[in-house]
Each structure stands twice: as C-alpha cells, then as structure tokens.
Amino acid sequence: MYYEEPEFQLKRRSLAILQDEVRKVTEAIREMIECYKTVRSGKKDEAKCNLRKIRVLEEEVEALRRNLTRNMVEVGTMILSKEDFLKASYSIDDMTGYISSIAFRLSNINPKALKSNSLGDDIGKLLDKVAEMVQKLNESIFTLSVNPSKAIEIASAIQDMEKDVDLSYRELSARVIKKLGPLRDVMMISDVLERIENLADKCQEASDAVTILALSI
C-alpha cells in the first residue's frame, strides 16, 4: 500500500509519473511542428496523421495525470509537497490539450495564408520557441531527482523564454490583423497564435511547480 511506503519512495514514484508525462508532451509538440510543416507544404491529409498521434499522446498523459492524482489521494498527508506535484501534473496535462487544439486548427488552415508576408516562417519560429520551452521543462523534471539546484536553474531559464514567446506572440498578432485578407484566415491564425501563447503560459506554470518541488526534494 502507498501509505506504508517512506516519503522519499512516494516522491520518487510520483516524480517518475511526472517524467513520463513531460516526455509524452515533448513527443506531442514534435508532432505538432511536423503537422505545421505538412500543412505549409500543402499536404493537409498527412497532417491528419500527426493529429491522430497527438490525440493518442493526449490520452496517455491524461491517464498518467489520473494515476498521479490517485497516488496523492492514497498517501494522504505523507507528502507535504503533493499539491506541487499535482500542480505540475495538471499543467502538463493542460499543455497536451493546447497542443492538440493547435494541431487541429493548423490542419484546417489554408496553406496559402501561411505563405504571405513571411508570416509562415515567423509562426514556425514561434512554435520552435515553445518547443524549446517544453524541452527545457523536460530537462528540468528529469534533473529533479539528481540535481535539484540545476532543475531550479533550468526553470528560471524557462521564465525568460516565456517572455520572449509573449513578445513574439504580440508582434505576430498585430501583423496578422494588418496583413491578412480573408476574415476566416485572420480568425484561424489569430486563434492559433493565442493558443500557442497559452501553451507557453502552461509550460511556465509547470516550471514554477518544479521550482517549488526542487526545494523540497
């Protein structure tokens, strides 16, 4: 039974679940970027394959989050930092939801709209920035068990990266409104950009929880 285990074993079990979660999110965002590339090249049917893979990963992350939640319910008050584990887990789960919704919207965008005014290149760069944030989060969580101080250092870097993403989001949003023609394209791409920014925010939330966890491990 979980309640018979020492606290450090419970934390190790919970950390292993977090590591599995963030690994799958990292896979999902890679698929999202591939989805974007296939849409830009006009191969929208191939993008559906990426979308299916993302949805599978989304379900797997949700199952892991539920597993961690059950774990925390069963241990009761044995882990003082359980709220921080849950905050990280729920934020990571939310990230897959945003990745899935972004990929779905990308798969329905007119490829021609992504080629105007070099907008497509800049959206690709924004996606790469968020992917880098997720990779840093992955690195931070996997570092927790061996070097908490390093995990905090990486988490701090994520905060700076989120500010850069926010700035890029604002600039791109303004350009979309000014440059794009058809209203549908403006609405679709604006929605995608907003969700990318929300994804970065969730990554930041998970990073904040990791920082607190690092202080208790």
Per-residue model confidence as pLDDT tens digits over 58-80:
999 999 999 998 877 776 655 66
* Confidence (pTM): 0.88
Q: Tokens 């069963």 appear where?
A: 74
Please count the structural domains in the chain.
Answer: 1
What CATH number should be reported for the domain holding residue 186?
1.20.58.220
Residue 201 has pLDDT above 50, yes or no: yes
- Quote the pLDDT of residue 65: 94
Question: In which domain, by residue range, is 117 found?
Answer: 2-216
Give the residue-averaged pLDDT of 77-92.
Answer: 80
pLDDT, tens only, 106-134: 988 888 878 766 788 899 999 999 999 99
Continuous segment of H or E residues that includes residue 95: helix 82-106
